[in-house]
Structure formats: C-alpha cells, structure tokens
Amino acid sequence: MVYLIVFILLFVLELVYFQVADRFNIIDKPNERSSHTRVTLRGGGIIFYFAVVIYFISSGFQYPFFFIGLSMMTIISFLDDVFTLSNKLRLLVHFTAVLLMAYELNLFNMPWFYLLIAFVVIVGVINAYNFMDGINGITASYSLAVGGLLMIVNHSINFIDQDLLAYTLFAVLVFAFFNFRTNAKCFAGDVGSVAIAYILLFGLGALIIKTGNFLYILFLAVYGIDAVWTIIQRLMKGENIFKAHRSHLYQYLANEAGQNKLVVSFMYGFIQFLVGLLAIYLSSKEINIQIIYACSVLIFGSIIYLVIKTSIYKKYVLKTDSTL
C-alpha cells in the first residue's frame, strides 16, 4: 500500500513539474546534433530526485551525506538546464558531491587509493551517463536494468535500504511513461541523468564495498563500452569531447541507420540486464572465472561494438559526407 501511494505521488509530482516547465519555457529545442525533431519539455528526470526526497523523509533521514550530495548535484544540474552555468562551477559542485558520497560510503576510512579510484570512476560514470541521454527511452531502459540488478542482489546481501532502490525505480517507471514513446512528452535533462547516475552509483558503491567484489562494475558495462570507445574515437579525430554530439553507437543506430529508437533503447537495457544477471551468478564463483567473464564481456563487447559502428559509419556517415 505504501509503494502504491509513493508511485501515485510521484506521478502527480511529475505532472506538476510539467506545468512548471511549460510555464517557464523549460524546453529542449532540436538542433543539428539532436536526435529529436520536436520541441520537448526538459528536466522530467527531476522526478528521480523527488523519489529520494520522499525516501529521505519517510526513512527518518537515512544516508544524510548522500542526500546532501544528491541535492547539490540536482540543483546545479537543474540551473544548468535552465541558464547554462560555467564548467568551473559545475565541476566544483560535482567534486563536493562526490566527496559527500565517499564519506557516506566510509571511503575515508580505507586506503587513500580507494578514494582516488572511486572519485575517477564516479565522476566518469556521471558524465558518461549524462552524455548517453540522447534518444527516447534510453535513460529509462538502462536505469531500470541497473536498478533492477541492484535490487536482485540487495534481496540476498542487503547492502542498502531496499526502499531507496524501490522508490527510485518507481520514479524511473513514471518517467518512462512520458519518455518511452515515439513522441516523448519530456526528456530527463542534465538534472535527471546526473541524479539517477548519482543514485545508482551510490547503490553500486555500497554493493562493491560490502562484498569486496569489483565484478559488479559490469552492471555498467554497456554504457561503459559505448562511452569509452566514443571518447577514444572523438579524440582520434581531434574533436572536443566535451561538446554535444551524436556519435554514440545508439545514435548511429537510431539516426543514421534509421532503427526504431525505442527498440534501440530497450536493447541497451536488455543486454545490460543479461550481462548483469550473469555477473550476479558468477560473483560466488572462483576469482579466475570472474576475471575471464569480465575480460570476455569487455573484449568481445568492444569487438561487436566496433564492428557494428564501423559498418554503420562506412555505409551511412561517409556516404552522406561524400554527397555534401
């Protein structure tokens, strides 16, 4: 009954936000780098933060430093969605928020290199998650996959309060109702993609610390492969990796190859869920088996990724460029 009330409340809050966004013209206008062609409301992903606010209050203020960090990330990202802030200010807030998450996870009580590794991974994943928010449904599909995997493991290991994950996934479902459609009602915006990345990373960090098993990082393998190889390819072309673009594989599939965007988004989430399920199964096996699996996912995943992307690039992108 509580879950039903929370779900309905989140649905209402999303509708209220739509009224606010419409009133203050918080919209996403398509440009040459966009994968959409209609003016769409921006920032619908703020519902992820609202879910954590509800959890924070109802739980008696659990995970306070995590909540403060998330609040900082959400506020600065929302302001950036509306006004476009300086990179220095955003990086300062992100840095502080990551330190707050690290403190909540007790990383300061561990060897210094744990904190360094965590900082690099968290900042990298948050930015990758943000850049990957490019077509209808992909943030919702992928977040449901990762969040679902965390809930499955949490049922047996109990590394985090299950309600935090449940409320977050309710918010993702609400967002998906308006975003996972041919003509999306809203996009997540920076506020949404950054917030959901921060939440999921907190859960994943708690899991890895509780178990001491880094195999669970494969819960982010699909996004990781796409993001890393896209950055490498853009650097090789001499492009500014911090500028907006549409050269991820999912963008090539949806735009250049003309594949259904919702199918592409679903497949990203579905493949990630399968990779994560097998990682959960193998997490109790010998370390050698886990290493072989992790290397196989990253190596063969990269090969398949590069073959598909190169094929699309030669067939559609080069052909288009040669006719200009």
- What residue spans define the domains of the chain? 2-323
Percent of the chain with pLDDT over 70: 94
Beta-carbon contacts of 190 under 8 Å, excluding residues fewer than 6 positions away, are 77, 78, 80, 81, 130
C-alpha count within 13 angstroms, C-beta hemisphere, residue 300: 7
Are the CB atoms for 21 and 27 separated by under 8 Å?
yes
Query: What number is the average pLDDT over the span 298-311?
Result: 96
Q: Tell me the C-alpha distance between 309 and 315, whole Å.
A: 10
DSSP secondary structure string for all residues of 172-186: HHHHHHHHSSSS-SB
Q: Tell me the C-alpha distance between 104 and 77, whole Å.
A: 21
Q: Tell me the C-alpha distance between 273 and 267, whole Å.
A: 10
Band of pLDDT at residue 28, cut at 50, 70 and 90: low
Beta-carbon contacts of 120 under 8 Å, excluding residues fewer than 6 positions away, are none
Note the pLDDT of residue 228.
92
Please state whether beta strands 27-28 and 40-41 pair in parallel, antiparallel, or not at all (unpaired).
antiparallel
SS3 37: coil
Band of pLDDT at residue 287, cut at 50, 70 and 90: very high
SS3 248: coil
Note the pLDDT of residue 29.
60
244 token code pair? 């907006």
- Beta-bridge mates of residue 28: 40
Are the CB atoms for 192 and 186 separated by under 8 Å?
no
Note the pLDDT of residue 36.
45
pTM of the model: 0.93
Query: What number is the average pLDDT over the span 287-294?
Result: 97
Query: What number is the average pLDDT over the span 259-279?
Result: 97
Note the pLDDT of residue 40.
76
Beta-carbon contacts of 141 under 8 Å, excluding residues fewer than 6 positions away, are 176, 180, 265, 266, 268, 269, 270
Per the listing, tokens 């609040």 go with 71
When mean pLDDT is compared over 101-110, 112-121, 263-272, the highest value belongs to 263-272
